[in-house]
Structure 1
Amino acid sequence: MKSKPHYFFAVVIPDDVKKTIYHEMKRRQFPFKRFTHPDDYHITLSFIGAAEENALLEACTLIKQKLLNERPFQVTLSSFHTFGTPLSPRIFWVGMDESEALYRLQSHVADACRKAGFILDKKPFRPHVTTARKWIGEGPYKPGSEPEWPSFQINEVALYETNSMNEPRYTKKWSHFLNLRKEE
């Protein structure tokens, strides 16, 4: 029996930034069991899980309304981090600067999702790009020197569908560009 796909809303990362992250991961040769495909790099704003199409459409409409006056903004990648124990991290990720605009964007998306009837995770938002999973190194992960990470413009929010049988795993189903108009 085929399982239902899962969905999430996320910031779309520009291709040149995806390439930078990928090359940095490849250069360091970290011992993880599974690496995120570069096309799957994103910043999750709200994880939905399994969902009916009409609820997803409602969430998309509400998000578009909430983001009408939001303008594109810059963020800068900052450092490597892990989730899980330092001896055997589950998730390896790249963090970013603490952007008020990014937190506001996430809040708008989460509010729209809740209004559409979705129950969201209560953990605080921690913006990041997951790059690898399941540490298989012989010793604990030790942070090394940080690369010079790029800044990039956030200007698109998308709804992604997960398919764990494919590589890349995520398919963009809908997106909305932030308001590109100059203030009058």
Structure 2
Amino acid sequence: MTRLFVAIDLPGQVKEILAALPRGLPMAKWVAADHLHLTLRFIGDVDDDTFAAIALALKQVSFAPFPLTLCGVGHFPPGRHPHVVWVGMEQSAPLLSLQHFIEAMLAGAGIPPEDRPFSPHITLARLRDAPPNAVERFEKEHLELVCPTFQADRFILYSSLLTRQGAIHTQEAVYPAGS
């Protein structure tokens, strides 16, 4: 079994900006800079035949490059018990179209549809019993965060191996725009 997800990688400059944010949240496990990405679809564990079907189906996704701008911070779930701190992004119709196209191709490969609506974000940290007032303070401090706009010109099928030291992400296939 292989654990898979589809994502857009972030340019180095954007990763550096996000990795440089103060790490002052208690009970937070910060995502390493090289693991920062925009997940388009988490797939989960699949067998070899399904893996091959997914890789082939994603080759059918065609899109033009489009700009993305990361901005603002927030947390999931809404309310007083945050589990994830994230960076959001400006609304992007091309991003939503790409995600829907990927979802449709995955359905054709036998992957059940995602039951939650797509909420584009970059996970910065996972929280365990973090004080809600500390999360609120972090969000207020970074409310005006805006990263340089970059071109989304490819998406990537990643495998993810969970280890005691954390996940190891491997690029399994790269799907460039215009293909």
Distance 2:176 2:106 in 1: 18
1:89 aligns with 2:86: no
Kindly report the root-mean-square deviation, in angstroms, between the aligned alpha carbons of the 2 structures.
1.9
Rounded Cα–Cα distance in structure 2 between residues aligned with 1:168 and 1:49: 13
1:16 aligns with 2:13: yes
**In 1: Cα distance, 2:37 partner to 2:160 partner:** 13
Identity %: 27
Residue 54 in 1 paired to residue 53 in 2? no
- Give the alignment partner of residue 118 of structure 1, picking from 107, 111, 122: 111
Question: Counterpart of 1:40?
Answer: 35
Partner of 2:99: 106
Structure 1 unaligned blocks of 5 or more: none
Change (3 A) 1:139 1:99: closer
Q: Deviations over 1:140-178 (max 9, x none)?
A: 321214223221110111111111215453211111111
Q: Following superposition, which runs of at least 4 residues in structure 1 exceed 4 angstroms of deviation?
A: none
TM-score by length of 1: 0.85
Cross-structure match for 1:159: 157
Q: In the aligned structure 2, how far is the partner of 1:55 from the partner of 1:138?
A: 41
8 Å CA contact 1:39, 1:168 repeated in 2: no
Q: Distance in 1 between matches of 2:110 and 2:88?
A: 30
CA distance in 1, matches of 2:96, 2:19: 25
2:20 aligns to what SS in structure 1? helix
Conserved? CA contact 1:46–1:110, under 8 Å: yes
Query: Judging changes above 3 Å, is the alpha-carbon distance between structure 1 residues 123 and 114 closer, same or farther for their aligned structure 2 residues?
Result: same
Aligned match of 2:73 in 67, 80, 104?
A: 80
Equivalent residue of 1:20, what SS?
Answer: helix
- Kept in 2, the 8 Å contact 1:89–1:134? The answer is yes
